[in-house]
Chains A and B, each alone.
Chain A
């Protein structure tokens, strides 16, 4: 690609054509502060933090969107600019609920950090009236506190562009502008899919999940309850970030250790039920292929995707696998098989899940998710909530020993752990389905064609003389692309994996928030996914059907995959919803 030479603060900088001033400055190691900018998602130049001087330009320009041109001379740190940025921050603060001490984002807030970096001395410098907004707590998974919103519109851009949902946007105008649902109807009344991507995009404490950590502690304190926990695959790939580990560090052992110290009676693993999901889903796939069922079969692990399909493609629900998600399968098994084995009343088991996801909070309350007559899962918390819990209990995460999960619901294979990366469920399913169809052992269990963080991946595999066409999509705008093709009869896939969040669960709405200035130039998805693929590679068993605990579960309890009992416990149904 052609390169362009410019000068930033007198330094020669060479950057590819098409770069913005911000990109070029990044290459040169010069940080220009940003607030509203999210690369390729929210490029609107609205916050005016990144303004810079360009020689010869009539006005100051927004570095985040202004393209570089040959010979351009840019100044990023003149006294005028530093002062303007400070004033802009002070203006934002004049209309901001500054209860930082009790704010969920305190210490991790991008606004707070900028104020410190730019030396804002008086947060009340431009004090004036500030409207008071009621919290929007109508959705099952999250809260919007517009008193802390700085109107950067990162959430609306993510919702509309990345997820093609678009249920939030600016209402009113000028000083009374606020972000919310159409006609301020409340997020819970819209066709929000509960993905939580808005939360991970938010620079401040305006958006956060509904916190259930106190419920977890109350359950643990209740001696009559047997409290068990299941962390999802992706949690181990991101939890470390909350405790200063580099992005992509696998902290599985420390996580198990921390969960035990929190006081759970048993520390199990959702990877186990991921393996179980493969058993059922691979069976369902083969059944559909062999018996002329509806194709393509589409995965159902991601509750945000399921809700999206129910709202936006209610005519396509028959493609969805009837398998419950790994979270729900785990809960269902814990309250049937495990309860029976332990001689426990399902009523006395509290099943807690730790998820990279906010839609899981919605999923636990869905209908047809109560195999034992009680909810399969009782409490679902996010990775962020787990980190909060660890801090609250004074657990020194970094000095914890590595520990293992408990039996019998803690044993998993490499297939289960890669569920967290886009393409992982498909790869795990193929490992089992191919071996089942051919009756031969796979020479190579790694399906590289469907790895990687691209939004849509397609591949064709020849299995026992049959060409199996698969597609993998993550991020709902990519899902929309696939679904439109399917709806219009333009797709001939056999099996499709869809994950609600871009990159899959590793980048879920419940994962640690990454500051925009990091996120804009580092691939979070790839780094976290690598942790999972490395975990898989290190495992001696890498195929779900070879998991000894899973084999035992079928032998002792379920019978065959797809058996009537398995159907009763591990499968569910869907409903048609409207678009609001």
Chain B
């Protein structure tokens, strides 16, 4: 692609791309997000390309150059469509059909029916009850969402800058470069009241203004893509599905604060995101949207990618900058804050992926437009990774202020199987739990904080009544403990001691005073840890202890786990009244823990039993049950 030297050429390029897309007879967008790729969408993409080649008489290309018939054109690899539960996903345009759970063997049928004749392959449509949904936009999962930040994810080819341009990309940058002064940009962002989507909820405009007023002239813009919360993948999806939007946001920030260099810090566990970002940067550099004198202006911006080596703590600002500098990733005490002395000791704008992705929208649509979405103090939309015991897991975007009920029942389709809603863990290892009475609480920064939870980066793990909350607390504490950097005493030693206590409790060795000890430790860690991660490390325990104290007590006092999750507390028993003495259980037991006489009730030796459940499945009379 040729370098775009000025605004006029950019408009031309955008116009051409638009024309090409409009002229196309058919576009097939195959989800190439990490989830669908794991489900085989890569092979599906290859097969669709082959079919295009095998059938040269069918016009699927929309670009004049015939050489681009396969691969890039017509058949597209898009970013995550969000409806991960139903993957691999395929969207066919212009009809807007969404095929779900597409298998390799479905490709021929799709090609010959839908692409060739415009017919719908009904068995691949999403169904809810008796209703079939041929159009993606009508599916309840999508219908209830407001997709602004994720708008392009699944709708454009994530590996082609032209598609981003045709979707209105880099218009905000144009506006900033040619129609606004840096101070006006900051003013607009401040007016929008955009708050950091990484979890802190700090006002983005204020952050930028602080960087802009520093005496030091060398400044950096850093994007935090070190998304580490278990079950969270919002940032990954943006980086994979619409990398340019985030890059554009970073460039606008750079313009606003006078930075000429930026870093994207991505965890190495996101190879696809890294590959797409690299490609995006290379394409932007090639056409002059990154580099020196962008669009013929004085603005220059050079962007680097820095891969994180897998430490959760590097998501903390000062640890992240330390890691980029080549030092051990450990948070430092503040002040000085990152806005004063951040990367390489220079003033630094450090925002999260989703925050940057919001910026172009605010610039093009205006601060007032943004403020009209969601509540006064937390405007805009928020992406959530909806996982756990919910029917439709996936990536969603809703206006701030949407209730949990809407998210779980309307979008998520309710609880999976026959379970009942028990709790939702929000904010990952730094967050807390919400329960039934909280279902109608507005999802926004301030309301959640009041509930003892936090929005975090947006992980929503839905749990049903088969979930043991003590085990949930243990899981998160184990995570935090493993990820502690080891610098400050309370986090390094305290989380280990808390984990040990939780391990004791789920193993049936808990003592009543352990609960007091847990609370005491939680308080000390929360009050005295050095960084935000340490301070919030005990939140999952504090929250579950507050909401589910009876479960803790049951584990400690009665040595029981009502949800049958803690295997150490379970016992397989044989009901003598039901047992016919057939010996089938004994014959299926791998450790010979069951004994008895034929035609008399059998007995399980619980000390030998390994709780594998083979006996329970073998018993024809339902005589074997679990106690505990």
Chain A residues at the B interface, C-beta cutoff of 8 Å? 44-48, 51, 59-60, 62, 65-67, 80, 84, 87-88, 91-92, 94-95, 126, 128-129, 150-151, 169-170, 172-177
Contact A94 B484 (CB under 8 A): no
Task: Identify which of A51, A62, A66, A151 contacts B486 (C-beta below 8 A).
Answer: A151
Q: Is B342 interfacial (CB-CB < 8 Å)?
A: no
Give the chain A neighbours of B486 by CB distance below 8 A.
Answer: 151, 170, 172-177
Complex CA gap A328/B143 in Å reads 86
Of all chain B residues, the one with the shortest Cβ separation from A176 is: B486
Expressed in whole angstroms, the minimum distance between the Cβ of B241 and any Cβ of chain A is 32
B332, B483, B517, B528, most chain A CB atoms within 10 A:
B528
Contact B492 A87 (CB under 8 A): no
Contact B484 A173 (CB under 8 A): yes
Task: Identify which of A80, A91, A176 contacts B527 (C-beta below 8 A).
Answer: A80
Contact B492 A62 (CB under 8 A): no
Task: Identify which of A84, A150, A172 contacts B528 (C-beta below 8 A).
Answer: A84
Contact B333 A60 (CB under 8 A): no
Q: List 7 other contacts, CB 8 Å, given A45-B332, A88-B524, A177-B492.
A: A84-B524, A87-B524, A128-B496, A151-B492, A173-B486, A174-B482, A174-B485
Contact B487 A46 (CB under 8 A): yes
Number of B residues, CB within 8 Å of A: 32
Contact A175 B484 (CB under 8 A): yes
Q: Is B489 interfacial (CB-CB < 8 Å)?
A: yes
Give the chain B neighbours of A66 by CB distance below 8 A.
Answer: 333, 335
* 24 examples of A-B residue contacts, CB within 8 angstroms: A46-B488, A46-B489, A48-B488, A51-B527, A51-B528, A60-B527, A62-B333, A87-B528, A88-B489, A88-B490, A91-B494, A91-B524, A92-B489, A126-B493, A128-B497, A169-B328, A170-B486, A173-B483, A174-B485, A174-B492, A175-B492, A175-B495, A176-B486, A177-B492
Q: Is B245 interfacial (CB-CB < 8 Å)?
A: no
Complex CA gap A65/B331 in Å reads 14
Q: Is B363 interfacial (CB-CB < 8 Å)?
A: no
Give the chain B neighbours of A174 by CB distance below 8 A.
Answer: 481-486, 492, 495-496
Expressed in whole angstroms, the minimum distance between the Cβ of B523 and any Cβ of chain A is 8
Of all chain B residues, the one with the shortest Cβ separation from A173 is: B486
Q: Is B619 interfacial (CB-CB < 8 Å)?
A: no
Give the chain B neighbours of A65 by CB distance below 8 A.
Answer: 333
Of all chain B residues, the one with the shortest Cβ separation from A35 is: B489
Of all chain B residues, the one with the shortest Cβ separation from A92 is: B489
Give the chain B neighbours of A44 by CB distance below 8 A.
Answer: 332-333, 487
Of all chain A residues, the one with the shortest Cβ separation from B328 is: A170
Task: Identify which of A47, A67, A173 contacts B489 (C-beta below 8 A).
Answer: A47
Expressed in whole angstroms, the minimum distance between the Cβ of A90 and any Cβ of chain B is 9
**Sorted from nearest, which 5 A-B pairs have the closest CB atoms?**
A177-B486, A174-B484, A45-B333, A91-B493, A175-B496
Complex CA gap A455/B493 in Å reads 38
Give the chain A neighbours of B530 by CB distance below 8 A.
Answer: 45-46, 48, 62
Complex CA gap A447/B55 in Å reads 95
Complex CA gap A292/B486 in Å reads 56
Complex CA gap A128/B492 in Å reads 13
Q: Is B605 interfacial (CB-CB < 8 Å)?
A: no
Give the chain A neighbours of B493 by CB distance below 8 A.
Answer: 91-92, 94-95, 126, 175
The interface residues of chain B, by DSSP majority, are classed as helix
Q: Is B600 interfacial (CB-CB < 8 Å)?
A: no
Of all chain B residues, the one with the shortest Cβ separation from A174 is: B484
Contact A87 B333 (CB under 8 A): no
Question: B463-494: which have CB < 8 Å to A?
Answer: 481-490, 492-494
Give the chain B neighbours of A62 by CB distance below 8 A.
Answer: 333, 530
Expressed in whole angstroms, the minimum distance between the Cβ of B256 and any Cβ of chain A is 27
Contact A87 B481 (CB under 8 A): no
Complex CA gap A94/B524 in Å reads 15
Of all chain B residues, the one with the shortest Cβ separation from A83 is: B524
Contact B521 A173 (CB under 8 A): no
Of all chain B residues, the one with the shortest Cβ separation from A61 is: B333
Q: Is B520 interfacial (CB-CB < 8 Å)?
A: yes
Of all chain A residues, the one with the shortest Cβ separation from B526 is: A59
Complex CA gap A62/B481 in Å reads 23
Q: Is B535 interfacial (CB-CB < 8 Å)?
A: yes
Given contacts A170-B328, A175-B496, contact A59 B484 (CB under 8 A): no
Contact A175 B481 (CB under 8 A): yes
Give the chain B neighbours of A173 by CB distance below 8 A.
Answer: 311, 313, 483-486
Expressed in whole angstroms, the minimum distance between the Cβ of A579 and any Cβ of chain B is 17
Expressed in whole angstroms, the minimum distance between the Cβ of A320 and any Cβ of chain B is 33
Give the chain A neighbours of B529 by CB distance below 8 A.
Answer: 48
Expressed in whole angstroms, the minimum distance between the Cβ of B492 and any Cβ of chain A is 6
Contact B488 A91 (CB under 8 A): no
Expressed in whole angstroms, the minimum distance between the Cβ of A125 and any Cβ of chain B is 9
Give the chain A neighbours of B313 by CB distance below 8 A.
Answer: 173
B487, B521, B530, most chain A CB atoms within 10 A:
B487
Give the chain B neighbours of A151 by CB distance below 8 A.
Answer: 486-487, 489, 492
Complex CA gap A174/B535 in Å reads 15
Question: B335-355: which have CB < 8 Å to A?
Answer: 335
Contact A91 B490 (CB under 8 A): yes
Give the chain B neighbours of A150 by CB distance below 8 A.
Answer: 489
Give the chain A neighbours of B524 by CB distance below 8 A.
Answer: 84, 87-88, 91
Of all chain A residues, the one with the shortest Cβ separation from B483 is: A174
Expressed in whole angstroms, the minimum distance between the Cβ of A372 and any Cβ of chain B is 49
Of all chain A residues, the one with the shortest Cβ separation from B528 is: A48
Q: Is B500 interfacial (CB-CB < 8 Å)?
A: yes
Contact A88 B528 (CB under 8 A): yes
Expressed in whole angstroms, the minimum distance between the Cβ of B588 and any Cβ of chain A is 38
Give the chain A neighbours of B484 by CB distance below 8 A.
Answer: 173-175
Of all chain B residues, the one with the shortest Cβ separation from A85 is: B528
Of all chain B residues, the one with the shortest Cβ separation from A95 is: B493
Complex CA gap A47/B492 in Å reads 10
Given contacts A174-B482, A174-B486, contact A87 B520 (CB under 8 A): yes
B485, B490, B521, B535, most chain A CB atoms within 10 A:
B490
Complex CA gap A176/B332 in Å reads 20
Of all chain B residues, the one with the shortest Cβ separation from A62 is: B333
Give the chain B neighbours of A128 by CB distance below 8 A.
Answer: 496-497, 500
Give the chain A neighbours of B489 by CB distance below 8 A.
Answer: 46-48, 88, 91-92, 150-151
Complex CA gap A87/B495 in Å reads 13
Complex CA gap A176/B489 in Å reads 12
Expressed in whole angstroms, the minimum distance between the Cβ of A156 and any Cβ of chain B is 10
Complex CA gap A396/B497 in Å reads 46
Question: B527-556: which have CB < 8 Å to A?
Answer: 527-530, 535
Complex CA gap A62/B331 in Å reads 14
Complex CA gap A270/B254 in Å reads 64
Complex CA gap A174/B520 in Å reads 20
Complex CA gap A48/B494 in Å reads 12
Complex CA gap A126/B530 in Å reads 20
Expressed in whole angstroms, the minimum distance between the Cβ of A482 and any Cβ of chain B is 25
Given contacts A91-B497, A128-B496, contact A67 B335 (CB under 8 A): yes
Question: B126-159: which have CB < 8 Å to A?
Answer: none
B483, B489, B527, B535, most chain A CB atoms within 10 A:
B489
Give the chain A neighbours of B497 by CB distance below 8 A.
Answer: 91, 94, 126, 128
Of all chain A residues, the one with the shortest Cβ separation from B491 is: A174
Give the chain B neighbours of A172 by CB distance below 8 A.
Answer: 486
Expressed in whole angstroms, the minimum distance between the Cβ of A46 and any Cβ of chain B is 5
Task: Identify which of A46, A59, A91 contacts B535 (C-beta below 8 A).
Answer: A59
Given contacts A87-B524, A94-B493, A174-B482, contact A129 B500 (CB under 8 A): yes
Give the chain B neighbours of A51 by CB distance below 8 A.
Answer: 527-528
Given contacts A59-B535, A60-B528, A174-B482, contact A48 B333 (CB under 8 A): no
Give the chain A neighbours of B535 by CB distance below 8 A.
Answer: 59
Give the chain A neighbours of B496 by CB distance below 8 A.
Answer: 95, 128-129, 174-175
Expressed in whole angstroms, the minimum distance between the Cβ of A308 and any Cβ of chain B is 23
Expressed in whole angstroms, the minimum distance between the Cβ of A34 and any Cβ of chain B is 13
Complex CA gap A127/B524 in Å reads 16
Complex CA gap A45/B531 in Å reads 11
Complex CA gap A89/B520 in Å reads 14
Of all chain B residues, the one with the shortest Cβ separation from A129 is: B500
